[in-house]
Amino acid sequence: MKTVAIISRKGGAGKTTLTVHLAVAACIDGKETAIIDLDPQASAAGWGDSRKQETPAVVSAQAARLPKVLEAAVNNGADLAIIDTAPHSETAALAAIRAADLILIPCRPAILDLRAIGDTIDLVNLASKTAIVVLNAVPPRGSLADEAVEAIAPLGVSIAPIRIGQRAAFVHSLTAGQTAQEYEPEGKAAEEIQQVYKWMCKQLIM
Protein backbone atom coordinates (compact mmCIF):
# COMPACT_ATOMS: atom_id res chain seq x y z
CA MET A 1 0.00 0.00 0.00
CA LYS A 2 1.17 3.51 -0.85
CA THR A 3 0.52 6.40 1.52
CA VAL A 4 0.10 10.07 0.60
CA ALA A 5 0.03 12.88 3.17
CA ILE A 6 -1.71 16.17 2.35
CA ILE A 7 -0.35 18.82 4.70
CA SER A 8 -0.38 22.58 5.22
CA ARG A 9 -0.01 24.62 8.38
CA LYS A 10 -2.51 27.12 6.96
CA GLY A 11 -6.25 26.61 7.00
CA GLY A 12 -8.15 27.00 3.75
CA ALA A 13 -5.27 25.82 1.55
CA GLY A 14 -7.41 23.09 -0.01
CA LYS A 15 -6.16 19.99 1.82
CA THR A 16 -9.52 18.25 2.09
CA THR A 17 -10.53 19.15 -1.47
CA LEU A 18 -7.29 17.68 -2.83
CA THR A 19 -7.59 14.63 -0.57
CA VAL A 20 -11.08 13.58 -1.59
CA HIS A 21 -10.57 14.35 -5.28
CA LEU A 22 -7.39 12.27 -5.52
CA ALA A 23 -9.06 9.47 -3.56
CA VAL A 24 -12.03 9.35 -5.93
CA ALA A 25 -9.68 9.47 -8.92
CA ALA A 26 -7.94 6.39 -7.48
CA CYS A 27 -11.28 4.62 -6.98
CA ILE A 28 -12.26 5.37 -10.58
CA ASP A 29 -8.91 3.88 -11.57
CA GLY A 30 -9.86 0.66 -9.78
CA LYS A 31 -7.68 1.10 -6.70
CA GLU A 32 -8.93 0.26 -3.23
CA THR A 33 -8.53 3.59 -1.48
CA ALA A 34 -8.85 4.84 2.08
CA ILE A 35 -9.01 8.42 3.33
CA ILE A 36 -7.68 8.92 6.85
CA ASP A 37 -8.97 12.15 8.37
CA LEU A 38 -6.71 13.42 11.16
CA ASP A 39 -8.41 16.83 11.35
CA PRO A 40 -10.64 17.26 14.43
CA GLN A 41 -13.03 19.26 12.23
CA ALA A 42 -13.51 15.99 10.29
CA SER A 43 -14.34 17.70 6.99
CA ALA A 44 -13.33 14.67 4.93
CA ALA A 45 -15.29 12.36 7.20
CA GLY A 46 -18.34 14.62 6.90
CA TRP A 47 -18.01 14.54 3.13
CA GLY A 48 -17.83 10.74 3.32
CA ASP A 49 -21.01 10.65 5.41
CA SER A 50 -22.86 12.66 2.76
CA ARG A 51 -21.86 10.35 -0.12
CA LYS A 52 -24.17 7.81 -1.70
CA GLN A 53 -21.18 5.76 -2.90
CA GLU A 54 -19.44 3.41 -0.48
CA THR A 55 -15.98 4.26 -1.80
CA PRO A 56 -13.52 5.59 -0.91
CA ALA A 57 -13.57 4.43 2.70
CA VAL A 58 -13.18 7.38 5.08
CA VAL A 59 -11.83 6.90 8.60
CA SER A 60 -11.62 9.63 11.21
CA ALA A 61 -8.67 9.06 13.55
CA GLN A 62 -6.30 10.65 16.04
CA ALA A 63 -2.64 11.05 15.13
CA ALA A 64 -1.56 8.61 17.83
CA ARG A 65 -3.70 5.92 16.17
CA LEU A 66 -2.36 6.49 12.66
CA PRO A 67 0.00 3.46 12.54
CA LYS A 68 -2.84 1.14 13.62
CA VAL A 69 -5.26 2.69 11.13
CA LEU A 70 -2.75 2.29 8.30
CA GLU A 71 -2.13 -1.30 9.35
CA ALA A 72 -5.87 -1.96 9.23
CA ALA A 73 -6.05 -0.41 5.75
CA VAL A 74 -3.31 -2.77 4.55
CA ASN A 75 -5.10 -5.76 6.09
CA ASN A 76 -8.32 -4.72 4.34
CA GLY A 77 -6.59 -4.74 0.96
CA ALA A 78 -6.13 -1.02 0.38
CA ASP A 79 -3.85 -0.02 -2.48
CA LEU A 80 -3.67 3.62 -1.44
CA ALA A 81 -4.19 5.67 1.73
CA ILE A 82 -4.48 9.45 1.62
CA ILE A 83 -4.10 11.31 4.90
CA ASP A 84 -5.90 14.64 5.43
CA THR A 85 -4.36 16.68 8.24
CA ALA A 86 -5.34 19.56 10.50
CA PRO A 87 -3.77 22.96 9.74
CA HIS A 88 -2.75 23.81 13.28
CA SER A 89 -1.72 20.42 14.65
CA GLU A 90 2.02 19.83 14.44
CA THR A 91 1.55 16.36 15.98
CA ALA A 92 -0.88 15.22 13.29
CA ALA A 93 1.19 16.71 10.48
CA LEU A 94 4.39 15.05 11.69
CA ALA A 95 2.66 11.70 12.10
CA ALA A 96 1.36 11.93 8.53
CA ILE A 97 4.72 13.07 7.17
CA ARG A 98 6.56 10.19 8.78
CA ALA A 99 4.07 7.63 7.47
CA ALA A 100 3.95 8.95 3.91
CA ASP A 101 5.55 7.74 0.70
CA LEU A 102 4.60 11.08 -0.89
CA ILE A 103 3.91 14.43 0.77
CA LEU A 104 1.84 17.07 -1.02
CA ILE A 105 1.46 20.67 0.14
CA PRO A 106 -1.52 22.44 -1.45
CA CYS A 107 -0.92 26.18 -1.68
CA ARG A 108 -3.03 29.00 -3.05
CA PRO A 109 -1.10 31.67 -4.99
CA ALA A 110 -1.82 34.32 -2.34
CA ILE A 111 0.58 36.19 -0.09
CA LEU A 112 -0.70 34.77 3.21
CA ASP A 113 -0.48 31.20 1.91
CA LEU A 114 3.01 31.76 0.53
CA ARG A 115 4.18 33.23 3.83
CA ALA A 116 2.80 30.23 5.72
CA ILE A 117 4.33 27.58 3.48
CA GLY A 118 7.74 27.95 5.14
CA ASP A 119 6.37 26.54 8.41
CA THR A 120 5.04 23.51 6.57
CA ILE A 121 8.35 22.90 4.84
CA ASP A 122 10.16 23.20 8.19
CA LEU A 123 8.03 20.31 9.50
CA VAL A 124 8.88 18.20 6.46
CA ASN A 125 12.58 18.92 6.93
CA LEU A 126 12.30 18.10 10.62
CA ALA A 127 11.23 14.59 9.63
CA SER A 128 14.03 14.39 7.03
CA LYS A 129 11.51 14.00 4.21
CA THR A 130 10.82 15.86 0.98
CA ALA A 131 7.53 17.34 -0.20
CA ILE A 132 6.01 18.72 -3.39
CA VAL A 133 3.85 21.84 -3.57
CA VAL A 134 0.60 21.69 -5.55
CA LEU A 135 -0.62 25.13 -6.61
CA ASN A 136 -4.34 25.24 -5.89
CA ALA A 137 -7.25 27.62 -6.59
CA VAL A 138 -5.23 29.36 -9.30
CA PRO A 139 -7.23 32.23 -10.89
CA PRO A 140 -7.99 31.72 -14.59
CA ARG A 141 -6.29 34.99 -15.51
CA GLY A 142 -3.29 36.93 -14.30
CA SER A 143 0.24 36.10 -13.26
CA LEU A 144 -0.33 35.08 -9.63
CA ALA A 145 0.66 31.46 -10.25
CA ASP A 146 3.94 32.41 -11.91
CA GLU A 147 4.67 34.86 -9.09
CA ALA A 148 3.97 32.08 -6.58
CA VAL A 149 6.47 29.80 -8.32
CA GLU A 150 9.11 32.52 -8.00
CA ALA A 151 8.26 33.02 -4.31
CA ILE A 152 8.46 29.28 -3.55
CA ALA A 153 11.73 28.67 -5.46
CA PRO A 154 14.09 29.92 -2.69
CA LEU A 155 12.50 27.46 -0.22
CA GLY A 156 14.09 24.52 -2.04
CA VAL A 157 10.89 22.55 -2.58
CA SER A 158 9.59 21.11 -5.85
CA ILE A 159 6.31 22.24 -7.44
CA ALA A 160 3.94 19.87 -9.22
CA PRO A 161 3.75 20.52 -12.97
CA ILE A 162 -0.08 20.67 -12.94
CA ARG A 163 -1.91 23.62 -11.43
CA ILE A 164 -5.44 23.29 -10.07
CA GLY A 165 -7.72 26.15 -11.07
CA GLN A 166 -10.20 28.13 -9.03
CA ARG A 167 -13.35 26.41 -10.28
CA ALA A 168 -16.94 26.34 -9.06
CA ALA A 169 -17.18 22.58 -9.69
CA PHE A 170 -14.92 21.92 -6.70
CA VAL A 171 -17.26 23.76 -4.33
CA HIS A 172 -20.56 22.49 -5.76
CA SER A 173 -19.43 18.87 -5.95
CA LEU A 174 -18.25 18.68 -2.32
CA THR A 175 -21.56 20.14 -1.14
CA ALA A 176 -23.30 17.25 -2.90
CA GLY A 177 -20.99 14.61 -1.39
CA GLN A 178 -19.25 14.18 -4.73
CA THR A 179 -16.09 15.32 -6.49
CA ALA A 180 -15.65 17.29 -9.70
CA GLN A 181 -15.10 14.07 -11.67
CA GLU A 182 -18.57 12.88 -10.64
CA TYR A 183 -20.34 16.24 -10.65
CA GLU A 184 -19.00 17.49 -13.99
CA PRO A 185 -17.05 14.65 -15.66
CA GLU A 186 -16.19 16.61 -18.80
CA GLY A 187 -15.25 19.83 -16.99
CA LYS A 188 -11.86 21.47 -16.55
CA ALA A 189 -11.78 20.71 -12.82
CA ALA A 190 -12.17 16.98 -13.49
CA GLU A 191 -9.47 17.14 -16.16
CA GLU A 192 -7.01 18.89 -13.85
CA ILE A 193 -7.57 16.39 -11.05
CA GLN A 194 -7.05 13.51 -13.46
CA GLN A 195 -3.75 15.03 -14.56
CA VAL A 196 -2.62 15.51 -10.94
CA TYR A 197 -3.67 11.93 -10.16
CA LYS A 198 -1.67 10.49 -13.07
CA TRP A 199 1.33 12.57 -12.03
CA MET A 200 0.93 11.36 -8.42
CA CYS A 201 0.88 7.72 -9.55
CA LYS A 202 4.18 8.27 -11.36
CA GLN A 203 5.72 9.67 -8.18
CA LEU A 204 4.48 6.62 -6.24
CA ILE A 205 5.38 4.17 -9.04
CA MET A 206 1.90 2.63 -8.95
Number of domains in the chain: 1
Report, as an integer, the average pLDDT of 182-191: 95
Mean pLDDT of 147-162: 90
pLDDT for 86:
85
The per-residue pLDDT of the chain, averaged, comes to: 92
Has residue 202 got a pLDDT over 80? yes
> CB atoms < 10 A from the CB of 141, how many?
6
What pLDDT does residue 113 have?
Answer: 82
| DSSP characters over 123-161 | HHHHTT---EEEE-SB-SSSSHHHHHHHHHGGGT-EE-S
Q: How many of the other CB atoms lie within 10 Å of CB of 110?
A: 16
Q: What is the pLDDT of residue 32?
A: 97
CATH number at residue 50: 3.40.50.300
Q: Write out pLDDT tens, residues 129-144.
A: 999 999 999 988 878 8
pLDDT at 136: 93
When pLDDT is averaged across residues 147-151 and rounded to a whole number, the result is 87
pLDDT of residue 25: 97
What tens digit of pLDDT does each residue of 86-115 get?
A: 887 788 899 999 999 999 999 998 877 888
Q: Which domain holds residue 159?
A: 2-204
Percentage, residues of the chain above pLDDT 90:
72
Residue 12 above 90 pLDDT?
no
- Sequence-ordered list of residues with C-beta below 8 angstroms from that of 124, at least 6 positions apart, any chain: 7, 97, 103, 105, 130, 131, 157
pTM above 0.85, yes or no: yes
Confidence of residue 18 (pLDDT cuts 50, 70, 90): very high
pLDDT tens digits, one per residue of 37-91: 999 888 999 999 999 888 999 999 999 999 999 999 999 999 999 999 988 778 8
